[in-house]
Amino acid sequence: MKKLTLFLVAAVCLCSGNANAQDGKGSINFVPYVGINNSNFSGDADQYFGETSGKLNLMAGFSFEFQILEKSAIIADVNYRRLGATTGNAIRWGSASRFPIGENENSSIVGNLHVRESYPSGEARGNYNRDEIFRQVMESDAGYVHEYTKVTLDCISLAVQFKQNVIRGLSARVGLEGTVSLTEKWHYHFYNYYKETGECKEGDNSSDVGGCFADHLNAAIPLGLTYDINSFSINATYHLPITKCNSDKNPDFRHQAFDLTVGYRLPLRKR
């Protein structure tokens, strides 16, 4: 136990000794980074996706850090990340033109799809539930069923942040961020019924979400901590949403995202 305690004390002292003090006023660093991003939806998202859970993805980006004072810096940041969520109970079939809204009190419209939350996502698979779904599809002449599993948005984010050193090596960050989605995809397990042949097929596919998300920048406030050790920066950031991420005609739901990244500091100008 004594040896373990001495080892931990030595490790802490080593890390403290290697932690970088803030660079001098006027210095500039270029910091490429990679990491992981956990995202979900909040607000009224369950009306469209069922009960959602977090979705883990890789992310990458770079930033320019301008040291304006001995312990204060301005950061300009650009990154690529995937947002979205793993969806909950959502089985969707037919088209809105075949199933007028109001036919079923538990139904609603998502894009051009008629929605019935009849099965929790994932429970539709297996012989019994699969056959039951096919039976309902054939009786209603819908032609297909989609069991949605996740929503993925490929996004580019731009942010300006203020960084303030708190203690040696550790800094707090706050700023303003804008995010725009490049692609918006549903991922689903499908069940198709071909009335002409009586054949039933199933498989996995993806398609465009269909206008659920806004075309403009979504605003957020990044709140983060950075620990600089030697030339490395370890960053933890929570993105507090300001605006909703869906289109105006839909209820209000927002991105929830947390990032953990590691960057390498490359001095462009050192003071």
User: 192, 202 in Cβ contact below 8 A?
Assistant: yes
- Asked if residue 8 is part of any domain, the answer here is no
- Asked if residue 60 is part of any domain, the answer here is yes
What pLDDT does residue 71 have? Answer: 93
pTM, 2 dp:
0.74
- Asked if residue 76 is part of any domain, the answer here is yes
17-28 per-position pLDDT tens digit: 444 545 788 999
User: What SS3 state is found at 97?
Assistant: coil
How far is Cα 160 from Cα 171, in angstroms, rounded to an integer?
15
Give buried/exposed letters for 214-242 (b at 16+ CB in 10 A, else e): beeebebebebebbbbeeebbbebebebe
Give buried/exposed letters for 74-96 (b at 16+ CB in 10 A, else e): ebebebebbbbbbbbbbbbbbee
Question: Which among 30, 120, 37 is positioned nearest to 75, based on CA atoms?
Answer: 30
Average pLDDT estimate for 92-104: 39
- What CA–CA distances, in Å, run from 10 to 6, 13, 14, 21, 104? 6, 5, 6, 20, 67
Q: Give kind and range of the element (H or E) at residue 17.
A: helix 2-18
- Asked if residue 7 is part of any domain, the answer here is no
Q: What range does the domain containing 235 cover?
A: 23-269
- What CA–CA distances, in Å, run from 222 to 17, 36, 257? 29, 15, 10
Question: Which among 214, 66, 90, 76 is positioned nearest to 157, based on CA atoms?
Answer: 76
What percentage of the chain exceeds 70 in pLDDT?
67
267 vs 187, which has greater pLDDT? Answer: 267
- Asked if residue 1 is part of any domain, the answer here is no
- Is 80 exceeded by the pLDDT of residue 120? no
User: What SS3 state is found at 192?
Assistant: strand
- Is 50 exceeded by the pLDDT of residue 81? yes
What pLDDT does residue 141 have? Answer: 57
- Asked if residue 6 is part of any domain, the answer here is no
Number of domains composing the chain: 1
Domain of 78: which CATH number?
A: 2.40.160.20
What pLDDT does residue 235 have? Answer: 98
Paired strand residues for 82: 154
- Is 50 exceeded by the pLDDT of residue 109? no
Phi, psi of 246 (to 5 degrees): -95, 170
184-240 per-position pLDDT tens digit: 888 887 777 776 777 777 788 888 876 677 667 889 999 999 999 999 999 999 999
42-67 per-position pLDDT tens digit: 887 777 676 788 889 999 999 999 99
How far is Cα 65 from Cα 207, in angstroms, rounded to an integer?
39
- Asked if residue 33 is part of any domain, the answer here is yes
- Asked if residue 9 is part of any domain, the answer here is no
What percentage of the chain exceeds 90 in pLDDT?
38
Average pLDDT estimate for 136-142: 63
